């Protein structure tokens, strides 16, 4: 084979080698470009995953008592989970995923604003409720105080209407055969006990007929019995036995009264306590000593 042929073959082979070298260089450049592009996408994917994790955490911190809003927030949290799954599975539609993540972030900001508004409204309503409750409590306290004041006034009025008996003069009475009554301080001679006193003037009291009751207690502490048996009156809500009673016509002026008690048995020596009642109240007390 001639030298020209060898030279031609060599030239062709050199051309082929040059072309192959060019193609290999081009492929290597494309490989580096693709690697860098995928590397960039992986970094973006990792960054997006971190953003989604932070967004998920932000959603977890949202707190509200509104049931409808709770359901919406839970729905958005599920969307975040779906996006995270796509990112972790190598779905490289990064720009689309970023838009969806930004949409979720915008929605979250709206929730934050709504929750803040609801919290402010709740605080205002709580403040108004507490203010109304305080006003109601103050009104209740005022009413109770007024009721107490009225009760005190009523008690004062009732107290001011109670009669008072004073200037007592007590003695034993001996009855003569001629009907004459002699005062005596001898127990053995006393067939009756006479208690005289003055019912004092009281312009606040009602006038008219009233009943005066005498409870006479002997030296032994036993009440002298009423001739009609066990007679009682109400005094401060309790039953009080009495020995004798009589009517008076009270006209809001000093009224001298004498009440006679007929002994049901022989009286003994000692101190007799005489208590006077009217209108359910004790209005006076005194003593009688019989020898």
* Residue-level pLDDT, tens digit, the chain, 291 residues: 566 666 666 676 766 666 666 666 665 555 544 445 445 556 766 777 777 777 777 777 777 777 777 787 777 778 778 777 777 776 556 677 777 778 877 877 777 777 777 778 778 888 888 888 888 888 888 888 888 888 877 777 777 889 999 999 999 999 988 879 999 999 999 999 999 999 999 998 999 999 999 999 999 999 999 988 788 999 988 999 999 999 999 999 999 999 999 998 899 999 999 999 999 999 999 999 999
Q: How many residues does the chain have?
A: 291
Residues forming a β-bridge with 174: 182
Place of tokens 């006393």: 190
Alpha carbon 34 to its chain centroid, in Å, reads 75
The C-alpha atoms of residue 289 and residue 291 are separated, in whole angstroms, by 7
Question: What's the confidence (pLDDT) of residue 22?
Answer: 64
Domain topology for 165-290: Immunoglobulin-like (2.60.40)
Burial readout 6-37 (b: 16 or more C-beta within 10 A, e: otherwise): eeeeeeeeeeeeeeeeeeeeeeeeeeeeeeee
Considering only the C-alpha atoms of the chain, give the largest distance between any 2 of them, rounded to a whole number of Å.
200
pTM: 0.53
pLDDT of 33: 44
CA dihedral 115, 121, 126, 131 (to 10 degrees): 160
Residue-level pLDDT at 29: 57
Domain ranges in the chain are 3-115, 165-290
**Whole-angstrom Cα distance, residue 260 to residue 246?**
9
* 135 phi, psi to nearest 5 deg: -65, -40
104 burial via Cβ count (<10 Å: 0-12, 13-18, 19+)? buried
pLDDT of residue 84: 75
């Amino acid at each position: 084979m001639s030298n020209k042929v060898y030279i031609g073959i060599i030239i062709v082979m050199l051309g082929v080698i040059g072309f192959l070298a060019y193609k290999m260089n081009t492929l290597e450049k494309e490989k580096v470009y693709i690697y860098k592009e995928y590397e960039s996408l992986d970094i973006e994917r990792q960054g997006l995953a971190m953003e989604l994790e932070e967004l998920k955490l932000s959603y977890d911190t949202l707190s509200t008592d509104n049931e409808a809003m709770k359901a919406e927030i839970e729905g958005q949290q599920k969307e975040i989970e779906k996006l995270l799954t796509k990112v972790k599975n190598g779905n490289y539609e990064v720009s689309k995923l970023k838009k969806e993540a930004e949409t979720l972030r915008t929605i979250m900001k709206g929730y934050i604003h709504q929750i803040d508004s609801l919290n402010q409204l709740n605080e205002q309503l709580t403040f108004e409720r507490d203010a109304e409750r305080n006003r109601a409590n103050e009104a209740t306290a005022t009413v109770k105080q007024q009721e107490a004041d009225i009760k005190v006034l009523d008690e004062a009025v009732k107290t001011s209407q109670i009669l008072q008996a004073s200037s007592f003069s007590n003695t034993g009475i001996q009855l003569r055969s001629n009907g004459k009554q002699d005062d005596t301080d001898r127990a053995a001679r006393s067939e009756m006990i006479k208690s005289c006193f003055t019912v004092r003037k009281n312009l606040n009291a009602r006038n008219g007929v009233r009943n005066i009751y005498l409870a006479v207690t002997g030296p032994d502490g036993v009440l002298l019995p009423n001739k009609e048996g066990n007679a009682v009156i109400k005094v401060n809500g309790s039953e009080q036995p009495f020995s004798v009673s009589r009517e008076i016509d009270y006209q809001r002026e000093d009224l001298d009264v004498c009440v006679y008690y007929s002994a049901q048995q022989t009286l003994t020596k000692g101190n007799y306590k005489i208590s006077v009642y009217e209108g359910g109240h004790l209005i006076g007390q005194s003593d009688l000593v019989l020898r």
